[in-house]
Structure 1
């Protein structure tokens, strides 16, 4: 497959993922770009000649993030109509997108330099599903470690009010409430006490920086204005009281955290969401090795757990799973979920997720 064919295929994969996650506007944009992208602009030429793996590198969402930034800046009324869902005719969408690429070529080009930043607080609901399963198995006291924390919005997981099918967790007066459409049996209504939440990212973002806030907003799908309000609320929470987020290689950081003394009666939990696909295999392998070694040392007094929300390409959705030590049970699939946890389906987990391992290959970032 040529680079250009792989790039067009990446847009088609992302189109499928968007349609599977109730994002028709973004799906239409991906379809238009898959068919109509040319080398006429610097941006188009760079995308079509992409040197890396375009799906792993999330090239479609890099470009659409740049287009959305132009809309949010008030720089393109025609493109704004497409992002608002007011223009849906495929030919018209394609024409507007082509013109936007020509008009905003210089502004769009830098959006290809780095991966999309889709730090979505809603994913805390899916991750909390895993943490509740950990608490039900090992006890309420948790120490949480997150890799790929981006701007740290999910490091607020203990400060959000999260409602999961009748099971509510977090402060009743929390300024941000997360209430996904819950399907299936509710998670266990067990006590949970998160004593510490720490995170790392290879390139962390300062959510309190207005430029970062604008960047995060550009990657929010236009179909979900409630997500934008939630992100702004989360950033306000960080401005009021920060999070423990550091710059670090994920494997270096996990190895160092697992080597630290662990308090008796506290479960140490590694968690992540839509991250595993971006780790170099050497990094992922080191984390697996470190977790299994720590699992071998785990005791009933000092347990270890791993909670993940990661995409399954065949399903077009996320799978939420948990693994704990001591014990030889392996991965427990808890639920499937929308890309941004707009819905969580615990009832479908056994039928659709059985036997799925942690993601190894390229997937789709959302």
Structure 2
């Protein structure tokens, strides 16, 4: 169980993470919140008395998301200036927490749902490895899909270290800074993409779009542009995203008949920490059972981009069956996919 010093420290830890991710404005806000938080209002008290583990719960980013959304709204000029890199942060934040207590409190109710199309570039590297191992045709199952931007992975255009993938005329281009040996240039055909989230977001809803924009760090305006373009794609052609528990949904999907020559792929990014021990163990059991049943004609793969918080990076891990059951780290990456480094 956390206590006030632990919860304050979480903001300083998040500040260090943001600084390492080249987000100095957000780092400055997080660092200032560590001391600006007070018990004057309900938001401050709830943060300081947070009962869970503040880092896995993404407590700092919940509050920063709400503050950034307020800054973007323009209703608090000092807060808007702060998220542009100006002003004295502790005084501004202390007042803002008091003035906007009722507006900020609901942002603590759930974890931030970071919807970043660039993460699809990291996942695509794993999918290319699967295609090279087992053939080009993939059936993708994503858990923790949030607003479904990764479910557009078959509609984006990618340039991965000079390797072109996807639709040449796509309105969203995923071009990360590539480091190391490029991925294999192999045929890939994503036959179907489906996703689940415990509380999926409709990014085409203006209120939801405002919320998602708040979660994008102020240091990264290019991410706002990509979010807008990807949201337009969702509006034009919605994805297959349903509400549900990841474990139950995945169990049902794995039980479905699998066509010959199609690789079934479990895919996820920055969701594992939110599932809890019981769900993680259940997914491991289900994947082990499905792996035992996998054949050359009906392969199974697991592609995941998840954080190593100690090293402050994301790791792309791929397993596939038959023949490649040991987890293999193919790359490390920026948390939002800005760069990918082959390992």
Return closer, same or farther for 1:111/1:189 CA change in 2, 3 Å cut-off.
Answer: same
Query: Mapping of 1:245-324 within 5 angstroms?
Result: 245-324=241-320
In the other structure, the counterpart of 1:71 is 71
Q: Is the 8 A contact 2:2 2:50 kept in 1?
A: no
Superposed, 1:221-236 pairs within 5 Å as 221-236=217-232
Q: 2:334 & 2:340 partners in 1: Cα distance? A: 6
In the alignment, the residues of structure 1 paired with residue 125 and residue 68 of structure 2 have an alpha-carbon distance, to the nearest angstrom, of 31
Structure 1, residues 283-306: CA drift from partner, whole Å, max 9, x if none? Answer: 111110000110011011100000
Q: Which residue of 2 aligns with 1:9?
A: 9
Answer yes or no: is the 8 Å Cα contact 2:198–2:243 preserved in 1.
yes
Aligned-partner SS, 1:344: strand
Contact 1:127/1:309 (8 A) holds in 2: yes
Partner of 1:147: 143
Corresponding position of 1:135: 131
SS at match of 2:326: coil
- CA–CA distance in 2 between the matches of 1:228 and 1:135? 31
Structure 2 Cα separation of the partners of residues 148 and 194 of structure 1? 19
> 1:2, CA displacement in angstroms?
5.0
What's the CA shift for 1:340? 0.3
Quick check: 210-219 or 31-40, which moved more?
Answer: 31-40
For 1:161 and 1:345, locate their aligned partners in 2 and report how far apart those are by CA, in whole Å. 19
CA separation in 2, counterparts of 1:130 and 1:225?
A: 27
Gapped regions of structure 2 (runs ≥ 5): none
Counterpart of 2:62 in structure 1 is 62
Q: Which residue of 1 aligns with 2:99?
A: 103
> Alpha-carbon deviation of 1:329?
4.3
Query: Aligned residues, how many?
Result: 343
Distance 1:99 1:338, change over 3 A: same
Displacement of 1:156 in angstroms is: 0.1
TM superposition shift of 1:95 = 1.3
Cα displacement (A) at 1:280: 2.0
Deviations 1:223-265 (A, max 9, x none): 1111001011111001100100011110111111111000100
Q: CA deviation at 1:321?
A: 1.2
Alignment-derived partner of residue 164 in structure 1: 160
> Which secondary structure state, in structure 2, belongs to the residue aligned with residue 331 of structure 1?
strand
* Cα distance per residue 1:51-110 (max 9 Å; x no partner): 2221121110110011011111111111112211234xxxx1111111211121111111
C-alpha distance in structure 1 between counterparts of 2:302 and 2:228, whole Å = 29
Deviations 1:266-322 (A, max 9, x none): 110000000000002111111100001100110111000000000001110100110
Q: Report the equivalent of 2:85.
A: 85
Given that residues 117 and 215 in structure 1 are in contact (C-alpha distance below 8 angstroms), is that contact kept between their aligned partners in structure 2?
no
Give secondary structure in 1 for the equivalent of 2:75: coil
Equivalent residue of 1:282, what SS? helix
Q: Any idea what SS the aligned residue of 2:159 has? A: strand
Verify: 1:202 aligned to 2:202, yes or no.
Answer: no
Give yes or no for contact 1:20–1:317 (8 Å, CA) kept in 2. no
2:202 is paired with a residue whose SS is coil
Call closer, same or farther: CA 1:2–1:158 in 2, change over 3 Å. closer
Could you tell me whether the CA contact under 8 Å between 1:206 and 1:212 is conserved in 2? yes
4+ runs of 1 displaced by more than 4 Å? none
Equivalent pair of 1:312/1:319 in contact (CA under 8 Å): yes
* 1:6 Cα deviation after fit: 1.8
Is 1:334 paired with 2:330?
Answer: yes
